[in-house]
Structure 1
């Protein structure tokens, strides 16, 4: 990932031309990163950390946001939200005791946040592995991974993956009853592992030199995910798992997407084999996007805004993504495209 051409983000400004302008999510201030998921077509929910370190939650429908409201309890990390495929969204974060803490959006209202347990050393990454089931994974206190699965009613005992990690994990459901997670090591190399619904596979070294925590997204094709990270030259790179047996041979290897990123990448699956990805640019801190049509990438195009932290993108309809950001004044904004 240290190799490859570094392409200026300004070379493909037309890629962002079809996006809406920045839509305010409300006047309340939030800290850190948002996490967004879509419970149903045309809708999205987002969670963030409020100024009082509680869950701040927001709903999007018919082109407008409800505004931020806060839930009980204290969180000490950014949340991670995942749709369970049945119209429900689970949002989880680390609480003041380093335990997993979550709230459930049932399509109408949010549940009172509750403690799951465990001991987390990072923010979690949550992903659905089958209808009604969500797995939340975080870095453990021993440097590996720790995870618990929610079946719609209860959470499982925490499982563990032994590894030497230094970043938050980036996880995605694979559409085949599993979740694939990636994480950085001390050398910057990226490790990958898969949860098959009941147990974990071995750990695979994908190599590279990642300078942000990797993020993974389901490709809308059974068993396939795409994982993206920033390389040592600040350009963005992608590695695709093509399904089948979970082994190094099933991965494409890191391919360069150019650009100059200052944040983690966030992607949304907008159809079978389709992705829309957003990142904040190193040059202007604005949101830039790149789309994958199943064969080729469009090139990075500027959407706008000035973001801090990382963006969060989710699909709201076929061919459409909503990307949310926290601006320098700690207000949330979103754009929809392409």
Structure 2
């Protein structure tokens, strides 16, 4: 904190040395980030608490105007919790600067969430459509602030990174601008040439150290691709130094490098990397996410995968291929067999379940019904329709609670959970289990007479319902904020492991001893919903995911 304070004071003195007395005359109450500004916080209801640049990089400045509200009125507006909007800074015609949102937090100013997350918003007292309402003093105060942001964050002072609100894309209507409300500030009377020239002049007298958002590590088979995006206000970065553990990895790259692929790593081993950027003004160091290199199973896939474990040395994986057919690959404990097509025309992610000497696969057909195919230990039987009507593109999930019993679950066109089961002789009629789903269901059995179903509700939370051998128990909320359908595995009676993808990656929640534990994050680059299974008589949970390359990847986790 002392270092930040000293930097802020140095920037304030530099502003005075440049002769901009209008800013120096402003009431100087040290703000969080920029000492010439006074600090008046916006309502906490009007911005998102953040940890920038660790969660989001900061690489833009967005210029706004206050329109009919004056300087004081704008400050009051952002203090009103009903406003649902804010900016980091407000600047008056006389050059007063007020900071209202900390720069590491996300202000709601652009009408575009992506632009909000990576920008600093500055409001200016004035009108977009009236000439002469922006004063020279106001330009100077804002340009000094922009120069400070350039120095402290590395935001380039060019028109690709310093933009008007009118240049922010409408996230809902491609081709339209001004954010989702189509603002046109700061308007045609904002003098961009003068403003940018001022900002660059002020920045030339400020330090230009490197700035490095957190690097991103993406797994490969026995490898990791590490990417970073170092920046500096005006002085190029000279070099990057990469270290990693385990293995005492130590690499150096020119300042023009932005990624590297590190090979020769051990699959299913946790790795983490540190990148240090250096230029003549100093260094900045950031640490990557933790990753597990894992085997690549390949394929050209358009759905989430599923996996079943018939034995301790047998895994079967299914996925919908780019040809909309069902594709299958098996592992015999030593090696993976080649991909085989099981045909069909699927319009969803498929599911697979295993019981002794039997595999059952299911998917949504082009007619919206549930389709089924089984393997009897020797050969695959033809596809059969099990009827029902599944929500468009929504896939089923299935589990087996023992020899002769298979349970399959789907999201119906009413968005509730529906269930059908094979009792060893015939398929029983569909039954509704209620609930309101917003994704495919997941299911698992820890033994005879027990079935657990999981869904993502319309609140995007995980919900759970179980069959105890006699009756279905009431729905319970398991929490979280899901970005995908759930999947579950069980390694022992009374034990459950549920895997869900949230906006920040894959998370696991376990049930044991009659109670749910807390969510635990699973390292890796997770971009889709997982498939999970625990091999019988082992404590190995196998998780399959579709990577960003649309191939399947295999991760083995301890129970």
Q: Same fold (TM over 0.5)?
A: yes
How far apart are the structure 2 equivalents of 1:120 and 1:304? 31
Q: Which residue of 2 aligns with 1:157?
A: 382
* Larger displacement relative to structure 2 (268-277 or 290-299): 290-299
How does 1:70-109 map onto structure 2 within 5 Å?
A: 70=298, 75-85=301-311, 87-95=313-321, 97-109=323-335
Q: Find 1:138's aligned residue among 363, 366, 372.
A: 363
Q: Deviations over 1:247-273 (max 9, x none)?
A: xxx211311112222222222202112
How does 1:253-264 map onto structure 2 within 5 Å?
A: 253-264=474-485
Question: Are 2:372 and 2:385, in contact at CA under 8 Å, matched by a contact in 1?
Answer: yes
How far apart are the structure 1 equivalents of 2:519 and 2:269? 28
Q: Which residue of 2 aligns with 1:200?
A: 427
Tell me the CA shift for residue 119 of structure 1. Answer: 3.1
Q: Deviations over 1:296-323 (max 9, x none)?
A: 1113234455532113333367556454
Tell me the CA shift for residue 97 of structure 1. Answer: 4.9
Q: Which residue of 1 aligns with 2:402?
A: 175
Tell me the CA shift for residue 333 of structure 1. Answer: 7.9
- Kindly name which structure, 1 or 2, has the bigger radius of gyration based on alpha carbons: 2
Q: SS at the partner of 1:112?
A: coil
Residues 70 and 200 (structure 1 numbering): CA distance in 2 closer, same or farther, change over 3 Å? same
Question: Hey, which of these two has a bigger chunk of strand by percent?
Answer: 1
Q: Find 1:243's aligned residue among 454, 469, 475.
A: 469
How does 1:6-85 map onto structure 2 within 5 Å?
A: 24-26=219-221, 27=223, 67-68=295-296, 70=298, 75-85=301-311
Q: SS at the partner of 2:367?
A: coil
- TM-score, normalised relative to structure 1: 0.70
Q: Deviations over 1:28-72 (max 9, x none)?
A: 99xxxxxxxxxxxxxxxxxxxxxxxxxxxxx9789996732546x
How far apart are the structure 1 equivalents of 2:489 and 2:482? 18
Residues 60 and 270 (structure 1 numbering): CA distance in 2 closer, same or farther, change over 3 Å? farther
Tell me the CA shift for residue 243 of structure 1. Answer: 2.4
Question: Hey, which of these two has a bigger chunk of helix by percent?
Answer: 2
Matched, 1:211 2:448: no
Residues 272 and 23 (structure 1 numbering): CA distance in 2 closer, same or farther, change over 3 Å? farther
How far apart are the structure 2 equivalents of 1:103 and 1:267? 20
How far apart are the structure 2 equivalents of 1:95 and 1:306? 21
Q: Deviations over 1:86-120 (max 9, x none)?
A: 73322233345543332332333333333333332
Aligned residues: CA RMSD: 3.4
Matched, 1:273 2:494: yes
Structure possessing the higher relative contact order (Cα contacts under 8 Å, 6 or more residues apart): 1
Q: Which residue of 1 aligns with 2:42?
A: none
Matched, 1:307 2:535: no
Gaps of 5+ in 1: 1-21, 30-58, 245-249
How far apart are the structure 1 equivalents of 2:407 and 2:528? 24
Matched, 1:191 2:412: no
Question: Are 2:218 and 2:524, in contact at CA under 8 Å, matched by a contact in 1?
Answer: no
Tell me the CA shift for residue 200 of structure 1. Answer: 1.5
Q: SS at the partner of 1:174?
A: strand
Question: Are 2:307 and 2:544, in contact at CA under 8 Å, matched by a contact in 1?
Answer: no
Residues 206 and 276 (structure 1 numbering): CA distance in 2 closer, same or farther, change over 3 Å? same
Q: SS at the partner of 1:84?
A: strand
Q: Deviations over 1:167-201 (max 9, x none)?
A: 10011112242221111122210101112345311
How far apart are the structure 1 equivalents of 2:425 and 2:381? 10
How far apart are the structure 2 equivalents of 1:286 and 1:79? 17
How far apart are the structure 2 equivalents of 1:203 and 1:25? 42
Question: Are 2:326 and 2:341, in contact at CA under 8 Å, matched by a contact in 1?
Answer: yes
- Count of residue correspondences: 277
Matched, 1:126 2:347: no
How far apart are the structure 2 equivalents of 1:278 and 1:62? 20
Q: Which residue of 1 aligns with 2:18?
A: none
How far apart are the structure 2 equivalents of 1:319 and 1:115? 30
How far apart are the structure 2 equivalents of 1:330 and 1:168? 18
Question: Are 1:206 and 1:253, in contact at CA under 8 Å, matched by a contact in 2?
Answer: no
- TM-score, normalised relative to structure 2: 0.44
How far apart are the structure 2 equivalents of 1:116 and 1:232? 33
Tell me the CA shift for residue 235 of structure 1. Answer: 1.4
Q: Deviations over 1:131-156 (max 9, x none)?
A: 12100000122211100101222111
Question: Are 1:23 and 1:334, in contact at CA under 8 Å, matched by a contact in 2?
Answer: no
